Structure 1
Amino acid sequence: MPFRSETCAIVLMAGLAMSAPAFADDPKATAQAAADRWDQSFNTGDMDALTTLYGTDAEVVTKGAPLSGGPSIQAYFTNLKSKGFADHKLTVQSAKAKGDLLLASGRWEASGPGDGGARKVFSGNWVNVLERQGDGWRTVLHTWN
């Protein structure tokens, strides 16, 4: 019995349905791509692009008071950049998808002003919660130590 085009289409659709998980986003790769975009924006001083990586209701928890909203977040990171912080690098160590949320954590590193004008490397841990919003992932909570 020869295959008809309808049969081929059904077999193709069934194959795609069974392999759907293979096409799903890899949470760690998705989180690292978002982290790389953040690093690039900060390191090039493109604070407008950096701000777009955050959701409209995002909160950044700093050592001082938490910040929310694009203008506050942009001012904070613009100030850090103006103080000489550079070479920012985020490394994702863990990422878990929870529906439309992506929980990511890892290590951060940046160079900045040290004692006597020397450059110093700063580093620590960070956590981001990203939310799938329209055309991509936006950070809605960002903190580090």
Structure 2
Amino acid sequence: MSFRSHTRVLIFVAALAVTTPAIAEDAKVTAQAAADRWDQSFNAGDMDALSRLYGPDAEVVTKGAPLADGPGIQTYFANLKSKGFADHKVTVQSAKAKGDLLIASGRWEASGPGDGGARKVFSGNWVNVLERQGDGWRTVLHTWN
């Protein structure tokens, strides 16, 4: 192999090494931006904006039965908000792009009603699968524990 061939191989390998973390970071930035939009919509009580963040075939897997339609998803989160849940915050820890899908996971936190009327902080794990649809990313699967 000639010097030129070695140089081309080294440049290609270096480009892969730089590109792979950049792609992963882009996925995480995109996922965090989507999570931030969700947090802003929920915290503002804007359930119309929140429901537009979901795809038409989205499924939200709750502790009870999964919700699989826009009005059901909107009603579910409106009921949580009306019970006093607030200050919702998602921190994306991992995100992977797979074609038109973005798989994101991390932690969620929110304050809500606790014993005796005191405020309590709730938190847990969070997973979202987003799909590139038309003008942006829409959640197609959302679950947490």
1:71-110 → structure 2 map (5 Å cutoff): 71-110=71-110
Counting aligned pairs with the same residue, the percent is: 85
SS in 2 for 1:67: coil
Instruction: Name the structure 2 match of 1:8.
Output: none
SS in 1 for 2:65: coil
Instruction: Name the structure 1 match of 2:40.
Output: 40
Which string of whole-angstrom CA distances, capped at 9 and with x for unpartnered residues, describes residues 9-50 of structure 1?
xxxxxxxxx9xx699680000000000000000000000000
- Listed as ranges, the gaps of 5+ residues in structure 2 are 1-14
CA positional deviation for 1:69: 1.0
Residue type matched to 1:129 in 2? Answer: V
- Listed as ranges, the gaps of 5+ residues in structure 1 are 1-17
Using the size of structure 2 for normalisation, the TM-score is: 0.84
Query: Could you tell me how far apart the structure 2 residues matched to 1:69 and 1:51 are?
Result: 10
Query: Could you tell me how far apart the structure 1 residues matched to 2:117 and 2:126 are?
Result: 27
Query: Could you tell me how far apart the structure 2 residues matched to 1:79 and 1:69 are?
Result: 16
| Count of residues in correspondence between the two structures | 126
Aligned-residue RMSD, C-alpha: 1.6
